[in-house]
Amino acid sequence: MHSRLSTNFLSGSIPPSLGNLSSLQYLNLMFNMLSGQIPEELGNLSSLRYMALGFNELTGQLPPELGRLRSLHVLGLTSNNLSGELPENYANFVGLQQFSVAGNRLTGQIPRFIAKWTELYYLSLSGNDFEGELPLELLFNMSYLEYLFVSDVRSSAGFPFPKNANMTGIRYLVIRNCSISGEIPPYIGDWSSLKYLDLSFNSLTGGIPDSMKKLNLKITIEVQGQSFTLKQIIDATRKFSPKMEIGRGRFGIVYKAELPNEIKLAVKKISPQSKQHGKDELQREIFNLKSLHHENLVQLLDGYSIKDLHLLVYDYMHKGSLHHALFEPNSTTKLDWKARFAICLGIARGLRYLHEEKRFKIVHGNIKPSNIMLDNSLTAKLSDFGLAMLCDEEDPFMAIKAKGSRGKVSADYTPNQEAEFLLDKAGVLHDKGRILDLVDKKLASSYNRKQALTVLLLAMKCVNLSPTLRPKISEVVSVLEGEKRIDEISEGDDTPSASIGGLCGACSRVLEIEPIS
pLDDT the model gives residue 76: 96
Run of H or E including 280: helix 279-290
Domains annotated on the chain, with CATH: 2-220 (3.80.10.10), 222-382 (1.10.510.10), 393-510 (no CATH)
CA–CA distance, 131 with 9 (Å, rounded to integer): 35
* Beta-carbon contacts of residue 9 (< 8 Å; ≥ 6 apart): 32, 33
Are 33 and 13 in contact by the 8 Å Cβ rule? The answer is: no
Tell me the helix, strand and coil percentages in the chain, rounded to 5: 30, 20, 45
Residue 296 is predicted with a pLDDT of: 93
Closest CA relative to residue 460, chosen from 440, 489, 417: 489
CA distances from 211 to 38, 199, 354, 419, 475 (A): 46, 16, 46, 60, 60
pLDDT of res. 116: 92
d(CA 220, CA 442): 45
Which residues 6+ apart lie within 8 Å of 19 measured at CB? 39, 40, 41, 42, 43, 44, 45
DSSP 100: E
Give residues with Cβ within 8 angstroms of 256, minimum separation 6. 237, 244, 245, 246, 264, 265, 266, 267, 316
Give residue 386's pLDDT.
Answer: 67
pLDDT of amino acid 512: 35
Alpha-carbon distances, residue 178 vs 23, 81, 133, 162, 386 (angstroms): 41, 21, 8, 14, 26
Query: What is the chain's Cα-based Rg?
Result: 26
Q: What confidence score (pLDDT) does residue 41 get?
A: 96
Each residue's pLDDT tens digit in the chain (517 positions)?
666 788 888 999 999 999 999 899 999 999 899 999 999 999 999 999 999 999 999 999 999 999 999 999 999 999 999 999 999 999 999 899 999 999 999 999 999 999 999 999 999 999 899 999 899 999 999 999 999 999 889 888 888 999 999 998 999 899 988 989 999 999 998 998 888 888 877 888 888 888 887 777 766 776 776 778 888 899 999 999 999 998 887 778 899 999 988 899 999 988 765 545 555 556 666 767 777 888 999 988 888 776 678 888 999 999 999 999 999 888 899 999 999 999 999 999 999 988 887 656 677 777 889 889 999 999 999 988 766 544 444 433 333 233 333 333 344 444 455 566 677 777 777 677 777 888 988 898 899 999 998 998 888 788 777 888 889 899 999 999 999 988 888 554 433 333 443 334 333 333 333 333 3
Cβ atoms of 321 and 374 closer than 8 Å: yes
Q: What is the pLDDT of residue 501?
A: 38
In the chain, the amino acid numbered 505 is G
For residue 297, give the DSSP letter. B
Three-state secondary structure of 395-442: CCCHHHHHHCCCCCCCCCCCCCHHHHHHHHHHHHHHHCCCHHHHCCHH
HEC states along 225-266? CEEEEHHHHHHHCCCCCHHHEEEEECCEEEEEEEEHHHEEEE
CA distance 203 to 158: 7
pLDDT of residue 436: 81
- Give strand pairing partners of 226: 223
CB 177 within 8 A of CB 202: yes
Cα–Cα dist 423/405, whole Å: 14
State yes or no: 218 annotated in a binding site: no
∠ CA 477-485-381 to the nearest 5 degrees? Answer: 15
Report pTM. Answer: 0.61
Rounded to whole angstroms, the Cα distance separating 66 from 84 reads 15
